[in-house]
């Protein structure tokens, strides 16, 4: 029974120590890992699927920005209409 209690206390202490270490070193480790991934992707050919995916994401962002701009222009143009015109045209 004594061994079990000692083991539980040691396990809890190790858990707390690892948690504290992760809080301190976590962001630095994440940054280092991101840099390593960026370097690996930079060395791959353009036809490598992750590189193609990233290029596709950039084009999707540009398309989305253009669509949102057009929608905002449409909403601004529709905002010039009076509320009476919109409500009277929609019903019986």
What does the pLDDT read at residue 92? 47
Angle at which helices 2-43 and 49-79 pack, to 10 degrees? 80
Residue 16: partners with Cβ closer than 8 Å, 6 or more residues away: none
**Mean pLDDT in each 10-residue stretch from start to end of the chain (92 residues)?**
90 90 80 85 78 81 92 78 52 48
What does the pLDDT read at residue 23? 80
**Alpha carbons 73 and 69: distance in angstroms, whole number:** 6
What does the pLDDT read at residue 26? 78
What does the pLDDT read at residue 49? 78
pTM of the model: 0.35
And the tokens for 86?
């919109």
Q: Where are the domains positioned within the chain?
A: 33-79
What does the pLDDT read at residue 83? 52
């Amino acid at each position: 029974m004594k061994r079990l209690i000692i083991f539980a206390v040691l396990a809890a202490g190790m858990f707390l120590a690892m948690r504290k270490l992760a809080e301190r070193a976590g962001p630095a480790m994440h940054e280092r890992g991101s840099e390593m991934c960026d370097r690996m992707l930079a060395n791959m050919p353009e036809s490598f699927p992750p590189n193609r995916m990233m290029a596709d994401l950039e084009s999707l962002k540009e398309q989305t920005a253009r669509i949102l701009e057009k929608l905002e222009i449409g909403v601004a143009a529709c905002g010039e209409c009076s509320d009476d015109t919109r409500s009277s045209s929609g019903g019986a």
